[in-house]
């Protein structure tokens, strides 16, 4: 546990052990005092106060150390202050512990049903346990696990400037990072992750660029790459990455240790060691700050989620930081991740646009309005799906013998009430499902048996208003095995 205590005339000081994994944070205020509480398993509470004019230096990383290397004496607290502190500590700590243990998650299953339950644990085989789960349940049976009440984040919608790309495909957003022999430390205003093993990191992006993107796509197997902003533009420098400290990036270049100013560094791409893939059910874990981690869940217990990014790379995440878990099941595949067998598109009067994956036809988030018939209009956004317009026909192969095609189909809200068309699911010239939809109708749930089909085609035909406003979303369009 890390505790920062701040008064009007004192600078704050934090103490933590990198060997403990943070699983939460609370911030409360009392009069002129501010208490910031970081919760870590197995660590003691430490409180430090020192004069504001004392310069802080590096903190001793020893778990038992209570004084940094600067050895500046700390101010003792009065009994009254200690009492106030203990009261605030109890008030702050209880909700955080409760949220970790009792948070309710909605588990969406392949058969279309849902289970709302707190999750007690997930074992190494993917078996899920919870008080409201009354039957054997495995990750392979689920589409997604989503936390019902996600705490609002400060500055929600804006992402921190530094991006840490993880092995396996995840991304962590933070204010800054430090790298030393112990690993990479993520620093943010409200940190969700503490220290990551360096082998879990694929790249550190300070500023996006085509040069950095190409360096990531062409990762070397034996050398690290630093993208540097020079007078002649962005340049790639290869060597052995040594760390980040004191505003400098260390790089061993041709046998000599060099220092590159962090302000000139736009990206650091680490060598691709080509680790063996983790075994198990792969998931994409979305965190409340917009970060995501892709890996195999090997455990869920005592407020922590254990995840394998590769066969040899393991990290832990605080459960309170988890917003949504998408399961990459063998029994499910989203059509937006498949390459179509064929695509045909031709408009009549509307501007010709190309069909979209995981976005509307105009490239916006997929947004469908529900409750139109009852007058209680609610707009829901979807992360997965296809955006099409009339006339269009897109065919997908059913190569893995999936048994059902499922989707939520409707006119995207970007048309502002316009749109009238006919949507169809066709296979081998046979119409398996067809319905007229308009922007004034609620979205339709589609569930088509495709057990004996080698492929299916999604078709959008113009309606009474020709093709004007026919922006169709096939939200969560997916192939599913239900037997």
Mean pLDDT of 153-176: 77
**Is position 145 within any domain?**
no
Average of per-residue pLDDT values in the chain: 79
pTM here? 0.64
> Tens digit of pLDDT for each residue in 311-332?
999 999 999 899 999 898 888 8
**Is position 160 within any domain?**
no
Q: To the nearest whole percent, how much of the chain has pLDDT over 70?
A: 76
Last residue of a domain, one of 100, 121, 156: 100
**Is position 141 within any domain?**
no
**Is position 194 within any domain?**
no
**Is position 39 within any domain?**
yes
Last residue of a domain, one of 49, 81, 100: 100
> Tens digit of pLDDT for each residue in 62-96?
333 333 333 444 444 566 665 666 666 555 544 44
> Tens digit of pLDDT for each residue in 397-431?
999 889 999 999 999 999 988 899 999 999 999 99
Q: Which H, E and C letters describe the chain, residue by residue?
A: CEEEEECCCEEECCCCCCCCCEEEEEEEEECCEEEEEEEECCCCCCCCEEECCCCCCCCCCCCCCCCCCCCCCCCCCCHHHHHHHHHHHHHHHHHHHHHHHHCEEEEEECCCCEEEEECCEECCCCEEECCCCCCCCEHHHEEEEEECCCCCCCCCCCCCCEEEEECCCCEEEECEEEEECCEEEEECCCCCCCEECHHHEEEEECCCCHHHHHHHHCCCCCCEEEEEEECCEEEEEEEEEEEEECCEEEEEECCEEEEEEHHHEEEEECCCCCCCCCCCCEEEEEECCCCEEEEEEEEEECCEEEEECCCCCEEEEEHHHEEEEEEECCCEEEHHHCCCCEEEECCCCCCCCCCEECCCCCCCCEEEEECCCCCCCEEEEECCEEEEECCEEEEEECCCCCCEEEEEEEECHHHCCCCEEEEEEEECCEEEEEEEEECCCCCEEEEEECCCCCEEEEEEEEECCECCCCEEEEEEEEEECCC
Count up the domains in the chain and report the number.
Answer: 2
| pLDDT of the residue at 328 | 84
Mean pLDDT of 282-311: 91
**Is position 167 within any domain?**
no
Range of the domain at 474: 333-480
> Tens digit of pLDDT for each residue in 26-76?
333 333 343 444 433 333 344 444 333 333 333 232 333 333 333 444 444
């Amino acid at each position: 546990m890390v505790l920062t205590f701040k008064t009007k005339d004192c600078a704050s000081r934090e103490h933590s052990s990198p060997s403990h994994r943070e699983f939460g944070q609370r911030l409360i205020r009392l009069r002129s005092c501010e208490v910031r509480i970081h919760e870590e398993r197995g660590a003691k509470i430490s409180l430090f106060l020192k004069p504001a004019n004392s310069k802080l230096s590096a903190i001793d990383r020893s778990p038992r150390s209570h004084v940094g290397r600067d050895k500046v004496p700390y101010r003792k607290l009065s009994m009254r202050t200690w009492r106030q502190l203990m009261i605030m500590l109890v008030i702050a700590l209880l909700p955080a512990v409760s949220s970790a243990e009792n948070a309710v998650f909605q588990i969406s299953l392949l058969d279309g049903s849902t289970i709302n339950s707190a999750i007690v644990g997930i074992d190494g085989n993917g078996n899920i346990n919870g008080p409201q789960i009354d039957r054997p349940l495995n990750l392979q049976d689920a589409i997604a696990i989503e936390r019902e009440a996600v705490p609002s984040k400060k500055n929600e919608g804006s992402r921190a400037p530094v991006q840490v790309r993880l092995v396996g495909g995840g991304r962590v957003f933070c204010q800054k990072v430090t790298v030393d022999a112990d690993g990479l430390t993520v620093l943010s205003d409200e940190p969700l992750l503490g220290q990551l093993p360096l082998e879990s990191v694929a790249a550190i992006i300070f500023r996006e660029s085509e040069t950095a993107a190409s360096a990531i796509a062409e990762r070397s197997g034996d050398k690290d790459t630093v993208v540097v902003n020079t007078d002649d533009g962005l340049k790639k420098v290869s060597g052995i990455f040594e760390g980040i400290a004191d505003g400098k990036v260390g790089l061993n270049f041709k046998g000599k240790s060099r220092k590159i100013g962090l302000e000139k560094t736009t990206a650091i791409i680490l060598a691709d060691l080509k680790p063996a893939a983790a075994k198990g059910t792969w998931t994409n874990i979305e965190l409340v700050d917009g970060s995501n981690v892709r890996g195999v869940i090997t455990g869920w217990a005592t407020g922590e989620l254990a995840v394998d990014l590769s066969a040899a790379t393991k990290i832990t995440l605080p459960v309170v930081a988890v917003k949504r878990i998408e399961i990459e099941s063998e029994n499910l595949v989203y059509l937006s991740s498949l390459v179509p067998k064929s695509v045909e598109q031709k408009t009549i009067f509307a501007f010709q646009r190309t069909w979209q994956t995981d976005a509307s036809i105009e490239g916006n988030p997929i947004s469908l309005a529900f409750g139109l018939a009852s007058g209680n209009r609610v707009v829901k956004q979807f992360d997965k799906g296809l955006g099409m317009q009339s006339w269009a026909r897109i065919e997908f192969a059913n190569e893995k013998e999936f048994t059902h095609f499922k989707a939520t189909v409707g006119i995207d809200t970007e048309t502002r009430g316009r749109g009238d068309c006919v949507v169809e699911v066709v296979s081998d010239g046979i119409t398996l499902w067809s319905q007229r939809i308009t922007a004034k109708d609620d979205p339709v749930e589609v569930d088509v048996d495709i057990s004996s089909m080698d492929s299916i085609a999604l078709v959008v035909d113009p309606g009474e208003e020709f093709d004007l406003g026919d922006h169709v979303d096939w939200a969560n369009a997916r192939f599913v095995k239900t037997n």
